[in-house]
Each structure stands twice: as structure tokens, then as C-alpha cells.
């Protein structure tokens, strides 16, 4: 919500400065997002008169102007300005930007410069260059009686600070300047000026009627016709205020309705009476009906959407936007003025369905004052007659509005018990009175009448909030929360502690944590979907419509952005939720870790020469390390295939605890999937399903026994086995470890060989085994017995000790 200081002072009698007003707005809950003064951006722009205009000697479309910019510019002597505007001519008055001025629309600083050999000392400006409109066909033309040399900001009434206030959805009363003035007056920053609607003397009966056929969507409509209007430009002061609010002046009739909406928060609509056929009717739309709105877009309507139509079809989307067919033009002479009360929920639903946002919708869906209808009609009528001329008819009233306002029983003691601030009862009553609540005191309890413009006030706690925010939130004393003596008990759950361990381990291994969106473009989300996606009905954008079924799409997109910007090695991880469908059809959130490795694992150097890229074994190492940090029994895990169609089938696998419980999947991303994310070269990924890791048994946790170094030195033995080519090295290592669990503390593959000396269809795997003696050193017989058990265990996989 934007408004200027002069606009506010039309409704608030105050001596406060713009800075004081800005501070008070935030203090009472109307958060100030910014305050600007348009005049500051127009410093250096003056009213100037063109004395002569001659053709440029070296350019057909340029003119050389001699311009008088007043006695303070160039010592009073005329300036030479090169100009290409088609309307530049001798005798005209326009706006000159002097050297040193900054063009608001482009940010360019003007300097003296030679244009085709002629020195130019400034620029005659168009509305677009001044950032005051869209007109760029020619330079601004001003009336001849404007004093030459006058600052343009002073002439255009732009030396007026503009406030930009963020209005929360529960405050429809502050969607107009008058409502904001009421709040400031209640906070002690001045006196609110009362609304004084004009007295309308009707001269004829209305030329058309209006009826309601959807009472559940529209409770009341007022209207009247005005004959003999002249729809020219609105007054300069009105245009300046609309511009300060971010509105584009269109014509007097349209500007008046916009001005009243921004002043009082009350939308309305004015129809060209000549375009109407029969009565206007507020009714539900019929499936497939269309309307060309004022934004020049055609909308296809659905059953139940509220519209305003006549005998020929739909004119307006009720409460949201008017139609182009009945819009007012320069030829309009007779109009029908409509002010209605539409259901907020109905307006919001229609707006969301059509993806149509407007100033009117933002006010209707918050809720409007039903008792303000006739006042708004008279204010609009009076302004139209005053500015555009014409004669008004009698008013039409259809429907009904509440006869009495709402009341709330209120105990003043709630202010201290709920709000923590002791405020005298007389001050409480004064605050409510300044906010125009009606207080009737009867002993300890009050009866408070709620004004119609405050639909957000439902009960006594809301009144407490009103009193405290006006009295000053800074007056609430800081009170420490009660706390038991002693050391506080830990509050983190086992899952939270597990998540922290995994996050710490991932970062310690050199990976960078990323935080990506939980929403994805449907196409990228579908690449990792194993079931129908959750798709938002009202997304913040089409590119953030699907809930992520995996963390990998977001990480792959982040990796692509980093690589595209020159990163040579990317190691990104994220811990978050993926969103799946539970068996009962509801949403199921699963805690997951995603990790992406792309680019070079090690840069090129004098030892290896070429850079070494990440491979599937790097992904496996990360998965095992992170599972170990999470407390998973990594020694019991099985490496199995079927990582998913998103992974390369020959360079990926899963880590499982049993055949069905998948704890992680890892490996190279399939080239087809990588191409969807615009990634080239091998990309490795890990997806670790934290929720699938079995919980520790009660009382044991994931703590390991304290490390006690063995008293006796370990013994290393190497074994080389011939195995089938399709035998997994992990299966062989697992068999070797199981041969003697008491003495074998470690086993690892350190060599793989196939070729000369190895039969076809086989490979040689060399395993280093660490043997730890317990009570006494090993004898030769002990080592022979252990070796025999290792060979026997390996033979069950078809392994043969290599000679």
C-alpha cells in the first residue's frame, strides 16, 4: 500500500514529520517497507522553453534546439540541446535535464557531449525517461504559463514523500489512506478528519436497473446513473497521487474510482451506459462463458464464479476486474456507477482459479465495511459530478446490509493477564474510542461495539491486541521464563541427534552443505518419481509446482549451476525431507540425505598428470562412511543392484540390511538423467535413507565401547583367490571375515587382476587380512589353522587359492 504525505494529511491533521510518521507506522504494526521522495530523483530537471529549433546539419532526424532554462542555468544564457523528439518545436515548454542530472528510468548521468559534431548541454525528456508514464513518442509538453526555470518536481507536485506499507491480511481497514490515518491518530500522532460525504440532489430516475441472482455471493449492490459527463483527464493533483501509489492515470472516470479505492479501501466500477443492454445482474457464471477483462486478456469462466452481466453476456468478474466491453472512453457521456458487497471467500476462490490478481480482489477478499456502501456511492458521485460534470439519478439499492454492528463482552483485566502490560482502564477506553470502537462500561465488564471495517475482531483477545499495539509494544516489560534449577535435560530426539551426526560427518569429509527448494519443476521431479507426484494447486510459480520425491534433483540442478560458473569440483550434500504418498493416500515425509559428486576429485598434478574424476567407488565410500556415522551396522550390509533407473545400471548399487531394507543407493547417474539436468561427464550421487536405519536397542544407543589398544602386535596375511568374474569383492571379504570372528579384525581387497596367468572368465582378488592375537602370540599352528579356515570359507563362493 503506497500513499504520499500530502494524501495522508488530507485525512490526518498532524504536525509530524515524514520520519516520525514512518517510525510510528511500524510501531503500531503497519510495517514500513520503504519511504521515498520522487523529487530527489528529479533533481536537475527544470521547466524550459524552446526558443528556436533548427535541423541538425549531419542528421535528418535530429534538431538543434536553443533552450531557455531560467536565470540560474548557464548564467541565464540559452543552452544548446540536440533532440530527436518529433514534437520538439520552437515556442513549446517542456522538461530539460541539465548536465549532472540522473535520468530516473535508466540511471544514466547526463553530461555535455557532442552529438554528430554539435555539443549538447542536456536533454529534453519524455514521460518514460522521467519514469512518470509509458509515453515515449515525444517530449513532455507543459502549459505555456508554467514559469521557466521552475523545478519540475515542484510544478508536478512530486516533492511529496511516499510511504510503502505492508498490510497484513487481517487489516482490510488499512487498505485505504483514511484507515491508516485513523490508526495514526489513535496512536497520538494527530487528529483524524471525519468523512464528509457530499449531499447528492438527484435530478432523474436511474436509466437501468440491477438485480442479484446469487445472494450467497453478493449481499448488496448500490448504483446510480450519471448523465452528461465529460471524460477527459483527471486533475493534476489526482494524477500525482495515483502515480505515487503506483497507479497509471487513465481517464477522469477511471481515476476517480481508483482514487476512492485507495483512499477508503472501497472498490467500485463505472460502466459506459451506452454499452449496457437491459438490467445488470449479479449471477453465477455458466461453464465456458468468456470475458475480455480490462487487462486485455480473455478469461474462460467456470460454473459458480460470480459475474456481473447484462442481456448480451458477462461484463465483469465480480470483485476482481471489470470488462473491456463496458469500459469508459473519451466518447462516454452517460455512466452507471456500481458499488457492491461481494463474499470474500467467493472472490478469493475465483481469483485463484483464474490466476488473476487485482487491487479490487486484494480488498474484497479481506472483507469490507457493509455500512460504508451508501457513503462510498455518494463520495464517488460527488467527485464525478465535480470533475466530469453531469447530473446524478436516484440511487438503486438491492439486497440488504446488517442493521446492527457486532458487540463483544470485554474484561479490561485481560490486558495485563493476556498481554503482560498494565494499562489504566481509562487509557484503555480512550484507545478504543480513538479507534472508533463504541465502549459501554457496566461495572467490571464492558460491552464494546465493533465498527464494520474491522471484520478481524472476533473476541476479547483481539481487543487486547488493539489496546497494546496502540499503547506501544515497546512498553511490554521483558520477563524471563521460569526455569528449574540444575542442568537442563537434553531436548533433541534420537532422530535429531542422528541427523546432526550425519550432517557433521558429511561436512567433515569435505562436502559442502546445500539448502535447495522443496518444490521442483514437474519434469525434473518426475525424473526421480516412483509414484504419482504431489503437485501444488496454488504454487508460487510453475517452476516450483511439484513436491520433491528425492533430494537429488535439487542437488543436481545446484551442481549444474556451479559447474556452469566455472567450479572444477562439486561436492554438495543436503539433509531434508522428501515427500511421498502413504498407503492411506496422505503425505509421508521421509528424512533423507542426498549427495552429489561432480567434476574432478583431484586436480591435475605432477604425480598423476591428468585430473582424476569421481567414480562409483567414491560414492560407495561416502555412503558407507555416512551410514557408519548414523550408527548403521555397516559390517552386515549387502551390496546389491537395482539402484533405480536414474542410475547407471553397471556403475551403481544399493546397500541393504537384508534383501528388502534399502539403507542407501549410490553410483553414477544415468547419462539420460544427467542430460535432463544439462550435466556432462560422469556425475556420482548418494541417497541415504535415514528413516530406514534401524533404531538402536533401548538403553544401548549407538555408543561404541571405549577403545583399548591390544597388548600384542597384529599379524598381516595376504591371500590371492581366483574367483568368477561376476563375483562381488564385497562378498569375498564378508566370507573371509566370517571365517574366524575372534581373531580376524579386518579384511580388505588391495588388488584385482585379470589377464596372463588367470583363466578366462575369472579374476584374481588379493585380500589383506589382519589377525589380532588375544591372550598369547600366534604359533605357526595357530596361523595355519586360521589360514585353512579362511580358504575353506572362500571356497564356498567358488574361490580357489591362487598358486
Binding site residues for Mg(2+), as ranges? 456, 462, 465-466
Please give the full DSSP string across 289-336, using - where no structure is assigned.
Answer: -EEEBTTS-EEE--TT-EEEEETTEEEEETTTB-BSTT---TT--EEE
Q: CA angle, 164 as apex, 158 and 170 as ends, to 5°?
A: 145
CA nearest neighbour of 130 among 165, 183, 94: 94
Contact 350, 317 (CB under 8 A): yes
Rounded CA separation 605/585 (Å): 54
Residues placed in the known binding site: 456, 462, 465-466
Contact 219, 346 (CB under 8 A): no
Strand (E) positions, 465-538? Answer: 512-513, 519-520
Instruction: Indicate if the alpha-carbon torsion angle 658, 663, 666, 669 is positive or negative.
Output: positive
CA nearest neighbour of 572 among 550, 592, 554, 595: 595
Tell me the β-bridge partners of 47: 95
Rounded CA separation 797/799 (Å): 5
Q: Which three cell numbers stand for residue 541?
A: 510459480
The 10 Å CB-count burial string (b at 16+, else e) for 572-610 is bbbbbbbbbeeeeeeeeeebbbbbbbbbbeeeeeeeeee
CA nearest neighbour of 687 among 712, 659, 654: 654
Q: Which three cell numbers stand for residue 688?
A: 541415504
Residue with the three cell numbers 506499507: 165
Kindly give, in sequence order, each residue whose CB lies less than 8 Å from that of residue 508, ignoring residues fewer than 6 positions away: none
First to last CA, the chain: 86
Residue with the three cell numbers 464517488: 380
The three-state DSSP-derived secondary structure of 393-446 is ECCEEEECCCCCCEEEEECCCHHHHHHCCCCCHHHHHHHHHHCCCEEEEECCEE
Kindly give, in sequence order, each residue whose CB lies less than 8 Å from that of residue 543, ignoring residues fewer than 6 positions away: 521
Q: CA angle, 46 as apex, 43 and 50 as ends, to 5°?
A: 155
Please state, in angstroms and as integers, the Cα–Cα distance from residue 444 to each residue in 6, 409, 411, following that order: 43, 11, 7
Rounded CA separation 194/185 (Å): 12
Residue with the three cell numbers 515425509: 589
Amino acid at each position: 500500500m503506497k500513499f504520499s504525505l500530502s494524501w495522508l494529511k488530507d485525512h490526518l491533521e498532524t504536525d509530524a514529520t515524514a520520519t516520525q510518521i514512518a517510525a510510528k507506522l511500524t510501531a503500531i504494526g503497519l510495517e514500513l517497507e520503504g519511504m521515498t521522495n520522487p523529487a530527489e530523483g528529479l533533481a536537475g530537471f527544470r521547466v524550459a522553453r524552446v526558443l528556436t529549433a533548427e535541423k541538425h546539419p549531419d542528421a535528418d532526424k535530429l534538431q538543434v534546439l536553443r533552450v531557455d532554462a531560467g536565470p540560474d542555468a548557464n548564467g541565464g544564457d540559452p543552452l544548446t540541446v540536440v533532440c530527436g523528439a518529433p514534437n520538439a518545436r520552437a515556442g513549446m515548454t517542456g522538461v530539460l535535464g541539465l548536465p549532472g542530472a540522473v535520468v530516473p528510468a535508466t540511471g544514466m548521468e547526463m553530461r555535455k557531449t557532442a552529438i554528430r559534431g554539435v555539443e549538447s548541454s542536456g536533454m529534453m525528456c519524455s514521460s518514460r525517461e522521467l519514469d512518470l508514464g509509458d509515453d515515449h513518442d515525444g517530449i513532455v509538453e507543459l502549459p505555456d504559463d508554467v514559469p521557466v526555470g521552475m523545478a519540475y518536481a515542484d510544478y508536478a507536485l512530486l516533492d511529496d514523500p511516499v510511504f510503502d506499507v505492508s498490510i497484513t491480511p487481517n487489516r482490510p481497514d488499512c487498505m485505504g489512506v483514511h484507515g491508516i490515518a485513523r490508526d495514526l491518530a489513535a496512536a497520538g500522532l494527530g487528529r483524524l478528519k471525519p468523512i464528509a460525504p457530499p449531499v447528492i440532489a438527484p435530478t432523474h430516475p436511474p436509466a437501468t436497473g440491477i438485480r442479484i441472482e446469487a445472494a450467497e455471493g453478493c449481499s448488496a449492490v448500490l448504483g446510480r446513473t450519471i448523465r452528461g459527463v465529460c471524460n477527459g483527464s483527471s486533475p493534476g493533483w489526482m494524477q500525482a497521487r495515483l502515480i505515487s501509489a503506483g497507479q497509471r492515470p487513465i481517464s477522469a472516470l477511471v481515476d476517480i474510482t481508483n482514487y476512492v479505492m485507495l483512499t477508503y479501501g472501497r472498490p467500485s466500477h463505472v460502466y459506459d451506459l451506452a454499452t449496457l443492454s437491459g438490467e445488470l445482474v449479479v449471477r453465477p457464471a455458466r461453464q465456458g462463458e468468456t470475458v475480455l477483462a480490462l487487462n486485455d486478456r480473455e478469461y474462460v469462466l467456470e460454473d459458480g464464479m460470480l459475474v456481473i452481466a447484462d442481456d448480451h453476456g458477462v461484463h465483469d468478474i465480480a470483485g476482481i476486474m471489470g470488462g473491456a466491453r463496458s469500459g469508459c472512453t473519451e466518447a462516454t457521456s452517460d455512466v452507471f456507477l456500481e458499488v457492491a458487497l461481494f463474499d470474500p471467500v467467493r472472490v478469493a476462490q475465483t481469483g485463484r482459479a483464474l490466476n488473476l490478481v487485482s487491487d479490487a480482489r486484494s480488498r474484497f477478499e479481506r472483507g469490507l465495511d457493509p455500512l460504508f456502501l451508501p457513503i462510498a456511492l455518494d463520495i464517488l458521485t460527488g467527485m464525478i459530478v465535480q470533475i466530469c460534470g453531469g447530473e446524478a439519478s436516484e440511487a438503486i439499492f438491492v439486497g440488504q446490509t446488517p442493521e446492527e454492528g457486532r458487540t463483544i463482552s470485554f474484561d479490561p483485566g485481560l490486558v495485563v493477564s493476556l498481554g503482560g502490560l498494565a494499562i489504566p482502564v481509562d487509557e484503555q477506553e480512550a484507545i478504543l474510542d480513538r479507534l472508533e470502537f463504541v465502549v459501554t462500561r457496566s461495572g467490571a465488564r464492558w460491552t464494546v461495539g465493533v465498527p464494520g471495517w474491522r471484520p478481524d475482531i472476533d473476541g476479547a483477545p483481539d481487543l487486547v491486541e488493539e489496546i497494546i499495539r496502540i499503547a506501544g509494544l515497546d512498553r511490554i516489560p521483558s520477563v524471563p521464563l521460569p526455569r528449574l534449577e540444575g542442568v537442563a535435560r537434553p531436548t533433541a530426539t534420537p532422530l535429531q541427534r542422528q541427523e546432526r551426526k550425519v550432517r557433521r560427518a558429511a561436512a567433515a569429509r569435505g562436502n559442502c552443505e546445500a539448502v535447495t527448494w522443496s518444490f521442483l519443476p514437474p519434469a525434473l521431479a518426475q525424473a526421480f518419481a516412483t509414484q504419482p507426484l504431489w503437485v501444488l494447486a496454488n504454487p508460487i510459480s510453475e517452476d516450483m509446482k511439484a513436491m520433491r520425491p528425492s533430494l537429488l534433483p535439487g542437488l543436481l540442478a545446484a551442481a549444474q549451476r556451479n559447474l556452469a560458473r566455472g567450479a572444477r569440483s562439486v561436492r554438495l550434500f543436503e539433509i531434508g525431507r522428501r515427500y511421498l504418498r502413504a498407503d492411506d493416500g496422505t503425505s509421508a515425509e521421509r528424512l533423507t540425505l542426498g549427495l552429489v559428486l561432480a567434476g574432478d576429485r583431484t586436480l591435475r598434478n605432477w604425480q598423476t598428470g591428468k585430473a582424476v574424476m569421481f567414480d562409483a567407488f567414491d560414492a560407495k565410500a561416502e555412503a558407507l562412511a555416512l551410514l557408519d556415522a548414523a550408527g548403521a551396522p555397516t559390517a552386515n550390509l549387502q551390496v546389491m543392484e537395482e539402484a533405480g533407473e536414474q542410475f547407471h545400471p553397471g556403475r551403481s548399487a544399493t546397500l541393504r540390511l537384508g534383501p528388502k531394507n534399502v539403507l542407501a543407493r549410490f553410483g553414477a547417474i544415468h547419462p539420460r538423467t544427467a542430460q535432463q539436468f544439462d550435466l556432462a561427464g560422469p556425475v556420482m550421487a548418494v541417497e541415504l535413507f535415514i528413516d530406514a536405519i534401524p533404531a538402536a536397542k533401548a538403553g544401548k544407543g549407538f555408543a561404541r565401547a571405549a577403545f583399548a589398544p591390544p597388548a600384542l602386535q597384529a599379524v598381516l596375511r595376504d591371500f590371492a583367490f581366483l574367483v568368477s568374474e561376476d563375483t562381488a569383492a564385497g562378498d569375498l571379504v564378508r566370507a573371509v571375515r566370517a571365517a574366524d570372528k575372534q581373531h580376524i579384525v579386518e579384511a580388505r581387497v588391495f588388488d584385482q587382476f585379470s589377464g596372463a596367468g588367470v583363466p578366462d572368465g575369472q579374476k584374481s582378488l588379493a585380500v589383506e587380512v589382519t589377525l589380532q592375537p588375544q591372550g598369547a602370540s600366534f604359533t605357526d599352528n595357530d596361523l595355519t589353522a586360521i589360514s585353512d579356515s579362511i580358504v575353506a570359507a572362500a571356497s564356498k563362493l567358488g574361490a580357489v587359492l591362487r598358486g
